[in-house]
Amino acid sequence: MVITGIGAVTPVGIGRETSWRNLLAGRSGVGPVTAFDPSEFPTRIAAQVTGFDPADHLDAKRIRRSARFSQFAVVAAREAVADAKLEVDADNSGRIGVVVNAAVAGFDTVEAATRGLTAAQPVTPSSYFVPSSLTNMPACEVAIDLGVHGPVNASALACASGLYALLDARRLILAGEADVVVCGGTDAAITPVMFAGLSAMGAMSQRNDDPAGASRPFSADRDGFVFGEGAVLMVVESAEHAARRGVTPYATVAGGALTCDAFHVSAPGPDGAHATAAIGDALRRAEVHPSEVDYICAHGTSTQANDRTETRAIRAALGEAARQVAVSSPKSMVGHLIGAAGSLGAMVCALAIRDGVVPPTINLDQPDPQCDLDYVPHVARKLPVRVAATNAFGFGGQNCVVVFRAPE
């Protein structure tokens, strides 16, 4: 299976190429929260998508009926489909599927409706409230927008959601259920209740006076992740189908794996054994030797436990080859996009293969002695990338890894 189109709505740009340029430039998309008044919270920063006006992309009826995470997905899907030069018509619409995953889904609409209903003067929720909040709605909105009738699916694997969408799409294609699948992840839930809950967990950075420096994966002085929002969607199809259409792929999705720590609802298994297994299984299924891996787009959340566990897992899975591979975390710039985090990692791998350059891990000023790999600090690096992998590790211990090869 190959990737033939990519679309993105991220905290560092609306559009694939804008986002990519800013990632390579090491620009941070983190800033003060403007979605609500955060003054009562210990964390008052986030990685928001700025400059996104749904009216620039969608008609008034669709805006009324859809939540922000669905709007992001539709815009990203349109870009991906245009990039793939995919024409949808009556002959092929039944062979095109959609897999768009989310983690927190319509959390913002649920919170807004609850506040309205419990206000001193209650406000009845919109008739679109229930459907707009559902986890499957971005996938369905994308299908409606594109006019496709193949298999449409959505699932939630916390922070592994967006990456797992590629594996689900791959299965649909290998099973012969679809010729083309539009897939990826989306989320948009920068809200007071979300911040209250994450603050209670002590999960988020409190570097409010230095937003751009707040997300610090693998740095000894990291103090938590930065909550973000966005969507990254891709068009995938078999190599043969892409060749028949005359399009040039970005990368081959060579293999992947999904494991579970079965350890804790939020903390990773401390020995990283099952994250290690996911990396190792993905490499074996892709028929890739550890020494062939040029780049790993890390989960790299900027939390103490994740960064050390991920480092341990990479070392264990790759052995001596771990010392030679470049590893970086885009979350240092875009924060944690939750349901879209894994699909952003897939985009980074595909574009790194295309351009022969990998984005940096910014803010890596004081490397953690327990995080001792090559994290591409501060500046992007020119690097021929033939094989890349990306990790996505979610709450509940869900470990998803996908391996990419340069197209033949």
Name the residues annotated as catalytic.
Answer: 159, 299, 336
- Which residues, in sequence order, are CB contacts of 60 under 8 Å at separation 6+? none
